Amino acid sequence: MTIPAAAQRESTEEVAKPARRVTAVATLVALVAAVVMAIGLAAWFRGEANQLTGSAAASNEALVDAGATAQVAGQVREAVQRVFSYDYARLDDNERAASEVITGQYVQSFHQQFARVRELAPPQQAVVVATVPALAVKVLDGDRAIVLVFIDQQAHQGGQAKPLLAAGRVSVTAKRVNGSWKIADVEPF
């Protein structure tokens, strides 16, 4: 028995209509799922980006601005060497040079310490040379920086052939004043 061609066409069209509907619905569901997933991923990426840019590390210029960090390091190195070096025969010059690289609360502290140097250095004919073999800018935030500094000192005394050697570590708080980094505080650590 054969089915007439017209009846066969109607039967095929009836089968094709539900198949097209299923395909259209599946496409619509897939499209909605893709949009929902894209919105979800966008929200997640935004949250991740906010965590990175809003963290303390991201706001610490010492970790993200190599040029500014190098400038702080160079100027603090020079300042520390000036402050911790002196020559008994040139104490006025040494104090004046150190005064150019200090600021804030450290000014008074430095002058108190240097008064003791003025008292003890001449009788001993002491010449102290400070060098900074290493330092690290821990925090750089605008016009304020915290720098960890290792200091080596060689102290030569009149009549002594060998210098006395000393090493120390300090945390230096530096402030930018008129474009130059100056020592605002020094704490041993």
d(CA 77, CA 22): 75
Which pLDDT tens digit goes with each residue over 14-54?
555 666 666 777 787 777 777 777 777 777 777 776 665 55
d(CA 117, CA 126): 9
Domains and CATH numbers, the chain: 65-188 (3.10.450.50)
What's the confidence (pLDDT) of residue 34?
A: 77
**Whole-number percent of the chain with pLDDT over 90:** 62
**Mean pLDDT (whole number) for 142-167:** 94
What's the confidence (pLDDT) of residue 160?
A: 87
173 bridge partner residues: 146, 185
Kind plus residue range of the DSSP H or E element containing 187 = strand 180-188
Between 109 and 59, the more confident residue is 109
Between 147 and 25, the more confident residue is 147
Q: Edge-to-edge strands of the sheet including 86-87? A: 86-87, 127-141, 144-156, 164-177, 180-188
**Is 181 a residue whose pLDDT tops 90?**
yes
Kind plus residue range of the DSSP H or E element containing 130 = strand 127-141
Which pLDDT tens digit goes with each residue over 81-128?
999 999 999 999 999 999 999 999 999 999 999 999 999 999 999 999
**Mean pLDDT (whole number) for 151-169:** 94
**Mean pLDDT (whole number) for 127-150:** 97
**Is 156 a residue whose pLDDT tops 80?**
yes
